[in-house]
Amino acid sequence: MADANPVPQDTAPRGVPPHLHEVLPWVPRSGRRSEVSEYTASIPPEIASVRLAASPELVDASRQALVDIAVLERTYADQVTTLEPFLLRTEAIASSRIEEELTTVDQLARAQHGISAPRAARTVKGAIDGLALLVRRATDGVELDDILAAHRPLMADDPEEKWDAGALRTVQNWIGGSNRSPAGAVHVPPGHERVPGLMRDLIAFMRRDDLDPVLHAAVAHAQFESIHPFTDGNGRLGRSLINALWRYRGVTTRMAVPVASAIVADRGHYFELVNGYRAGDVESFAIYLADATSRAATEAAVSAGRLVRLPEEWRDVVRPRRGSATAAMLQLLPAHPIVDAYDVARLTGVSQARAYAAIERLVDAQVLRPITQSRRDMTWAAGDVLDEADLMVDRLHRLHRD
């Protein structure tokens, strides 16, 4: 029986060829006269069967990254109910910051709790939901339907892009330059007619199992960015593919790696390396991804240790009565950092009145802080848990500067 994922012959060229280009006519959607009549679009190569060889430097960097991921997961797997939501939230926040989609942890907490929040916060929540969906489905391999499904929550609250959520683009898009035409753009992706075929090729590439996992993820991500298959949201969804691919390859089994938290500290260099991939330089971006992954996994372990220790630290400050709702909530807050009175009553099995009393005590001890103003939907958050995402990114920024 033929191998479902054939390894290319040794005589095949090593590496991803540079993108080709084609000149296409430019017709503005407005129908008005444009400053250009034609433009040059890239044509990414097909990569399903491309032969890739990792250099000794990349092999070493990748091995270290995989060890750091394994240490993170093995050490903290028992706290997965606490850490997985934190890591997903941290990754989505950082990935959105790379695209300059900014929100605060409290605004995001409101969005996650279903309370009125700014559009940016709702968009980051969509990124969390899309990432979680994609990684959850990736165990047996990523399909196009999974990518489309992950794109829907990402764009669902965008007033202009929500109509195209979950659908491959049917128009030309571009990165940088003018909003009017592709003139002066940093990258002009392939014409939309090429997108379905290129995505089929990418899905086939992602199903391979003969490649170094970091190199595999680097090429999959860079190729996705080159195709730019959606009208918007490509960067965030493309970075989600890294964790999805690693779940398929067995690099992770229970956690996502917040690699975007390291990338956001050096986003300019990251963009340069992704652009370099289009010229055929795979190695530089793969080594960068390995290093960013090691840094992210190491700092995520620091954050994980802090989150695990929080209940004991809170207990020393609050000194609750044993068996009380307050004592119970100290143990539950790392996994449930956003709560209202109904949540506290449900989680601890006490009355609403006792739930409010427990909340008041935790607010007085600065374990909880209010994230809403209205008395009708009052909600609180464990600040130490939410703020850890920003603290982790700050540590990675300092590491990058040093």
Q: Is 179 exposed, middle or buried (0-12, 13-18, 19+ CB in 10 A)?
A: exposed
Structure token digits, residue 343: 């949540």
Taking the C-alpha atoms of residue 328 and residue 321, their distance in angstroms, rounded to an integer, is 10
Q: Is 330 annotated as ligand-binding?
A: no
Q: Is 233 annotated as ligand-binding?
A: yes
Q: Is 280 annotated as ligand-binding?
A: no
Q: Is 315 annotated as ligand-binding?
A: no
Residue 269: active-site member? no
Q: What length is written for the chain?
A: 402
Contacts 24+ apart (CB under 8 A), 303-307: 303/86, 303/90, 303/388, 303/389, 303/391, 303/392, 304/72, 304/75, 304/76, 304/79, 304/83, 304/86, 305/76, 306/388, 307/79, 307/82, 307/83, 307/86, 307/334, 307/385, 307/388
Q: Is 5 annotated as ligand-binding?
A: no
Among 19, 192, 228, 397, the active-site one is: 228
Taking the C-alpha atoms of residue 284 and residue 346, their distance in angstroms, rounded to an integer, is 51
Taking the C-alpha atoms of residue 365 and residue 306, their distance in angstroms, rounded to an integer, is 18
Q: Is 234 annotated as ligand-binding?
A: yes
For 64, residues 6+ apart whose C-beta sits below 8 A from its C-beta are 290, 294
What DSSP state is assigned to residue 79? Answer: G
Residues of the binding site for ATP: 232-239
Q: Which residues are the active-site residues?
A: 228
Residues of the binding site: 232-239
